Chains A and B, each alone.
Chain A
Amino acid sequence: MTDNEEALVLLIEDEAQIRRFLRAALGAHGYRLVESTTGEDGLVQAATRLPDLVIVDLGLPDLDGVDVIRKLREWASVPIIVLSARGQERDKITALDAGADDYVSKPFGVGELLARMRVALRHASSAKEPDQPTFTVGDLKVDLAHRKVFTGDKEVHLTPIEFKLLTTLVRYAGKVLTHRQLLKEVWGPPYADQAHYLRVYMAQLRRKLEADPARPRYFLTEPGVGYRLASE
């Protein structure tokens, strides 16, 4: 909690109890909070207060949360985190494809939300800086400049597509990516619906880079939604 302190967070959520606990939890971690109970008001607040991060509930009384995201994305690149219910995988995908950065499913622990917020804020600030030449998490080290991948001290050979998939995940490390987003980035837009390509290559990456591919430590699956590369 260093560079995130003092960050201004806009919370668009109609349920008072959820706002109450988030007010306490985020305040305790040094965030400043602006609250909004409707989508329309949230959009106004976003334009006037220019928050560093927006948290939006998908089930708002006036506007659909996804519409709020679309309207925000017309002019703002501020990171957006969605609050949704478990079992609403389709809604999560729609929200993410509409431009949300990440989601947490209700009920959630505050630790999970804070982790997502940290990742989103980090990506927002690093977008202005040049890419880091290496990425490290646990035993996994990716040398982007020299196109080399290591687990521990051992170099691992990857195919071009495997490497492209890995570097895409690294670029968004810690953040969820939908199948569609990954397929478009790695294979190109015509392949956006070929989710099985992605699953097969993900399995190959796990077999090469995970100690136990059936209990992945780095390449995490978000069933029905997409994948996330662990960053902590």
Chain B
Amino acid sequence: MCQKNVKRVPLDPRGCWETREGWAVAIAFCLPDNGPMTKGESCVSSHVSPLPADWAGYGLAVMVVSLCTAVSWAIHSHLELSNIIMVYLLGVVGVSAWTSRGPSLLASVLSVLAFDFFFVPPYLSFTVLDSQYLITFAVMLVVALVISTLADRIRRQAEAARAAQVSAETERLRNALLSSVSHDLRTPLASITGSASSLLESGEHLDAVTRRELLQAIHEEADRLNRLVQDLLEMTRLESGAVIVRREWHPIEELVGAALGRLGKRLGARPVLTRIPADLPLVPLDGVLIEQLLINLIDNALKYTPETSPIEIAAFGDDDGVMVEVADRGPGLPPGDERRVFDKLYRGQAKAGRGSGLGLAICRGIVEAHGGRIWAENRSEGGVAFRFTLPVKETPPSIPPGDD
């Protein structure tokens, strides 16, 4: 849709923030070009009805007039000249409806010329014997021009209406995101500021346990802030098309291991069961992105299930590629949420703290960038399974022969 429209945003110190790479995180994705922070081309152009390109439009005009001429020629012995004019006008209406103004004008002029050449005596000549036909030509031309002008105006109005609708939708999304993001940013910032100022201003009156608690809070909240900023960056990068998928042949097992390793302490004492067949083929994928995807899926399961509830990770291979599953034994998804969970800002009832509401949307972005599919299903035994596929179209590379 309007994904292409998010640009590297001009840096407005009040409106957004910047990383080292000169990236600004557009607080909203999909900002329309009249938004305060983007400088992209119009979001709207991609929503306009499929108009033929210029030359195709002119070609169509010529074709339609030729067709009208052929039809009229075939039946002109049964028709009054005035009805032949109607056939041409019908052609002009058609061209106007499907193309832009230029081709419609061409169709109008060609219609008058063809009418004169083929149907006004003397035939097969532009000469006109009866001067009253000049009036006929003039009227025919005026009518054709009015038709094409009106058709053009109607089309523009329809486009504007569609654009307004898209822009209202974008605006709504941006507002929702802004308020959500500012809340999510402020909460950890508030506890960091509060804890740090307590330590600075009255540290000497606090006992060691309290001081440690405050320090712990600063550390944890900074970590949360970091994850939120990472999510926002990743989402912005995915939506703006700035993500380059660097495919290399990977074993799925290695990425699962890396994701579990990176989650580290957050896993706690949680039982994690992995079922990955040793003969699963290598898959062409971007290791950094797929590791992130697995981290987000596992993290999601951690957030929505009790602390001792197991997490199961499995992978299956078939002729088209592999399917990976991250499943839990939690409460499952409310009916109808199987699709909505992948929407930006959608949040379930997390037991501990709020996420960014972007984790699963990022997952969907990553899987789609790989040409795969992601979905969620409640399991019949309880809990929910998130599954994604990664296609394997090429033959896996050869491995050096066994060396034992």
Binding site for B on A (CB under 8 A): 59, 85-89, 107, 159-162, 187, 194-197, 199-200, 202-203, 206-207, 212-216, 220-224
CA distance A37 to B19 in the complex (A): 19
- Nearest B residue to A59 via CB reads B20
A36 vs B257: C-alpha distance in the bound complex, in angstroms?
38
Cα A62 to Cα B282 in complex, Å, equals: 43
In the assembled complex, which residues on chain B have CB atoms less than 8 Å from the CB atom of A197? 399-400
Q: Establish whether residues B230 and A86, one from each chain, have CB atoms under 8 Å apart when the complex forms.
A: yes
Q: Quick check: B260 and A215 within 8 Å, CB to CB?
A: yes
The 30 listed contacts between A and B (C-beta, < 8 Å) are A85-B20, A86-B230, A87-B288, A159-B404, A161-B400, A194-B397, A196-B250, A196-B282, A196-B397, A199-B249, A200-B251, A200-B282, A203-B254, A206-B253, A206-B254, A207-B278, A212-B274, A213-B253, A213-B257, A215-B257, A215-B260, A216-B257, A216-B261, A220-B258, A220-B261, A221-B255, A223-B255, A223-B258, A223-B287, A223-B288
A213 to chain B, nearest CB (A): 6
Inter-chain residue pair count (beta carbon < 8 A): 80
**Chain B residues in 8 Å Cβ range of A162:** 403
B288 touches A89 (CB 8 A): yes
Q: Which residues of B contact A85 (CB under 8 A)?
A: 19-21
Measured CA separation A86–B237 after assembly (Å): 14
Distance of A195 from chain B, by nearest CB (Å): 6
0/1 string, B238-265, CB within 8 A of A gives 1: 0000000000111101111110110000
Chain A residues closer than 8 Å to B276, beta-carbon distance: 214
Please name all residues of chain B whose beta carbon is closer than 8 Å to the beta carbon of A203 when the two chains form the complex: 251, 253-254
With A89-B288, A223-B287, A224-B288 in contact, is A214–B313 under 8 Å at CB? yes
**Is B256 a contact of A214 with CB atoms below 8 Å?**
yes
- Which positions in B face A, CB cutoff 8 Å? 19-21, 222, 226, 230, 233, 248-251, 253-258, 260-261, 272, 274, 276, 278, 282, 287-288, 291, 313, 397, 399-400, 402-404
- Closest beta carbon of chain B to A178's beta carbon, Å: 13
Is B403's CB under 8 angstroms from A159's CB? yes
A70–B225 alpha-carbon span in the complex (Å): 35
A214 to B258, Cβ gap below 8 A? no
Cross-chain contact A199 with B251 (CB below 8 angstroms): yes
A196 contacts B288, C-beta separation under 8 Å:
no
Using known A-B contacts A87-B233, A107-B226, determine if residue A221 contacts B254 with beta carbons closer than 8 Å: yes
In the complex, the 3 A-B pairs of residues with the closest C-beta atoms, listed nearest first: A159-B404, A214-B274, A224-B288
In the assembled complex, how far is the CB of residue A84 from the closest CB belonging to chain B, in whole angstroms?
9
Closest residue of A by beta carbon distance from B267: A215
Q: For the complex, what is the distance from the CA of A194 to the CA of B261, rounded to whole Å?
A: 25
Residue of B nearest to A195 (CB): B248
**Contact (Cβ within 8 A) B250 A199:** yes
Closest to B292 in A: A223
Q: Output the least CB separation between B25 and chain A (Å).
A: 13
Tell me which residues across on chain B come within 8 A of A221, comparing CB atoms: 254-255, 257-258, 261
A210's closest neighbor in chain B, by CB? B257
Q: Is B254 a contact of A199 with CB atoms below 8 Å?
A: yes
Residues of A contacting B278 with CB < 8 Å? 207
B399: chain A residues within 8 A (beta carbon): 196-197, 200
Say yes or no: A159 contacts B272, CB within 8 Å: no
Measured CB to CB, the nearest residue on chain A to B262 is: A223
Known: A160-B403, A161-B403, A203-B254. Contact between A196 and B248, CB under 8 A?
Answer: yes
